[in-house]
Structure 1
């Protein structure tokens, strides 16, 4: 797993609010939580990874759980999620696509690139979200406000062109998300395996979505 660098996915203004030790602690916590899980990770391990005294962690956070709740959750949900949704939106939805195929290729490439660069963050999201109702609510709100209006316009344009069937936009989006998320997770898990052909599986996923929606 590549070392975690907050500048890869946090806006500059957020980083400037943190001091160097906070950044190191957060980077170490994300990396070890992703690798070992929250329960199996000790604050001593985080301290060693961050190259700080264990007591330094408790200057900022009362407990290990407080570290997760007070820093990682707000960082993932309140900073990374809206920042990444904005960046994703600008990268994918500001363009006009001639075909549904072109749109799917751009969408999948963007998400695959993000997943490869931020594997640890994605692992924590999948580990924590099922048990964190407030995270689920916040992410749903962000998606509804920041993403859905833009993706709905794009999908409706392909419906109007006759390139995909006249199902409801929410249904079309659910089917696309299910397939793309499955591809991304498989790539993160299997990309170093000799049985995994990323290019082939990406093309098969695109064909599967296209045929299902035609």
Structure 2
């Protein structure tokens, strides 16, 4: 599957033959509701009404509201984020980008297309991960373990080239991630607001990262 063929999470669920039609409606309603109101403020009764099913139907498929949340986030992280981030990193390791800033610019622009298609789901992740240890564990299992190691390889690659400072690679990864997640969060909140320029903000974020990591 190429980047141009990436689907949204809703499409992923709609094409999943293992799910019943009612489950698909429940998942779609839950994504919309969690995104709009947040997990804590959303009741299973409200999700059921939006999905056009009885509340008991939700609990026949998902034991708790938390299980419903995790059943939404797991496929996104395992099937829609990790594989394509790793693909981006592999391009660098195959020498497609000479400098870290070129890779960061290309990767973020590519991932922003994914974010546009999955704005509601990305919003849920950004909102809920800080408050749910089991969601953080899910993130670590599906993305952290699969992607973090590849990013460490990427950092070592650019360190060997003399492109960035000789700092512990895992620390470099965390610093880059913090900056880029901050950019994505700001984009989600500010996009469309007067004075917000996504391209300019991306360049500012990359400049900020590279200024801190640039070697001598």
CA 1:174/1:204 → structure 2, altered by over 3 Å: closer, same or farther? same
The answer to whether the aligner puts 1:203 opposite 2:203 as a matched pair is yes
Across the two proteins, how many residue pairs are aligned to each other?
202
Question: TM-score, with normalisation over the residues of structure 1?
Answer: 0.84
Q: What displacement does 1:55 show?
A: 4.3
Can you give the 5+ residue segments of structure 2 that lack an aligned partner in the other structure? 1-7
Cα shift readout 1:30-76 (whole Å, capped 9, x = no counterpart): 111110123332334323322334443344345xxx1x322321331
The answer to whether the aligner puts 1:81 opposite 2:77 as a matched pair is yes
The 3-state SS of whatever aligns with 2:199 is: helix
Can you give the 5+ residue segments of structure 1 that lack an aligned partner in the other structure? none
Q: What displacement does 1:11 show?
A: 9.7
Cα shift readout 1:168-213 (whole Å, capped 9, x = no counterpart): 1111111111111111111111001011011111111111111110
The 3-state SS of whatever aligns with 1:93 is: helix
Aligned runs of 1:52-201 on 2, under 5 Å? 52-61=53-62, 66=64, 68-77=65-74, 79-83=75-79, 84-90=81-87, 92-95=88-91, 96=95, 97-201=97-201
Equivalent residue number for residue 41 of structure 2: 40
Question: TM-score, with normalisation over the residues of structure 2?
Answer: 0.83
Instruction: Provide the C-alpha distance between the structure 2 equivalents of 1:11 and 1:172, rounded to a whole number of angstroms.
Output: 38
Equivalent residue number for residue 29 of structure 1: 30
Instruction: Provide the C-alpha distance between the structure 2 equivalents of 1:158 and 1:10, rounded to a whole number of angstroms.
Output: 38
Q: What displacement does 1:166 show?
A: 0.9
The 3-state SS of whatever aligns with 2:90 is: coil
CA 1:51/1:6 → structure 2, altered by over 3 Å: closer, same or farther? farther
